[in-house]
Homo-oligomer: A and B are copies of this chain.
Amino acid sequence: MTAQILDGRAVSAAILERVQREVAEFVGSHGRVPVLATVLVGDDPASHTYVRMKASRCAKVGMRSQRIELDETISTETLVNKIRELSDDPEVDGILLQHPVPGHIDERAAFEAIAPSKDVDGVTRTSFATMAFDEGGFRSATPGGIMALLDAYDVPLSGKHAVVVGRSPILGKPVGMLLLTRDATVTYCHSRTVGLADLVAQADVLVAAVGRPELIRGEWIKPGAVVVDAGYAGNKGDVEYAAAAERASLITPVPGGVGPMTIATLLAQTIKAAREHESAGHLGT
């Protein structure tokens, strides 16, 4: 294997250390602990695990998580109202709605109930547009984590061809927009793409984000490419790892690549939200 590892565990640990220091400063200045509200609907075991991990990381960096667990059968309206309450609650700095919600719920309506100033997971329409237009604001957590990981390794993006495989609203679409703001030429591929292998072979930077194990064959990878694998299903990524690592210059392991960066981004954005709430005087105290 020739590729160097894009070590999401190490980079995220460094980010979380910085967040921990920032939280301590925040508590010293403002006399309160930043709060991330996590909203979980239903009993999906994987979702429960994710929310537990996020709560545990919150505690480690000195923030408080407020866990809201709602029954599988609740209506869109009840969920929207609950999230609006959190949006209006001066004690809440950030809101995370664990994705996916049960099929009968209008997920977009639920996302849009999150106040943009508390959208630390970057799921609202406003956050998507501010990412696309390079206007600051919060990033979708996984795309934001991917950009931070690339930057930690000084991966050049300007003028490079970035190929994104996947086009979901909180992963594929925003990561492509973030790469475009950094002057990459960006190609979006997906399930209807004809000639995927030839397009992947053009990628200087490949972001795989579909959740189909080993869809992307190692032999497709351009020699020297940077490979970011955000897929995770059946304990495997979207990229055939061993063969890809023979050709890539840098590659994320799965797990230990993108995953830890997602949580680090979420928490970094939560302390940012808390500071912005204080400076906007939203808390009125």
On A, residues with C-beta under 8 Å from B are 108, 125-126, 128-130, 132-133, 135, 158-161, 167, 169, 173, 176-177, 180, 183, 185-190, 192-195, 199
Cβ–Cβ contact A159 & B194, under 8 A: yes
Assess whether B133 is in contact with A192, with CB atoms less than 8 Å apart. no
Q: Which residues of B contact A180 (CB under 8 A)?
A: 167, 173, 188, 190
Q: Does the CB pair A173–B125 fall under 8 Å?
A: no
Instruction: Kindly report how many copies of this chain are found in the complex they form together.
Output: 2
Q: A108-B135, A187-B187 are in contact. List 19 more A-B contacts (CB 8 A).
A: A125-B126, A125-B129, A125-B130, A125-B133, A126-B126, A128-B133, A132-B173, A159-B194, A160-B194, A173-B177, A180-B190, A183-B190, A185-B188, A185-B192, A185-B194, A185-B199, A186-B187, A186-B188, A187-B188
Out of B135, B161, B169, name the residue touching A133 (CB < 8 Å): B169
Does A193 contact B185, Cβ atoms closer than 8 Å? yes
Chain B, residue nearest A179 (CB): B188
Residues of chain B with a CB closer than 8 A to A126's CB: 125-126, 129
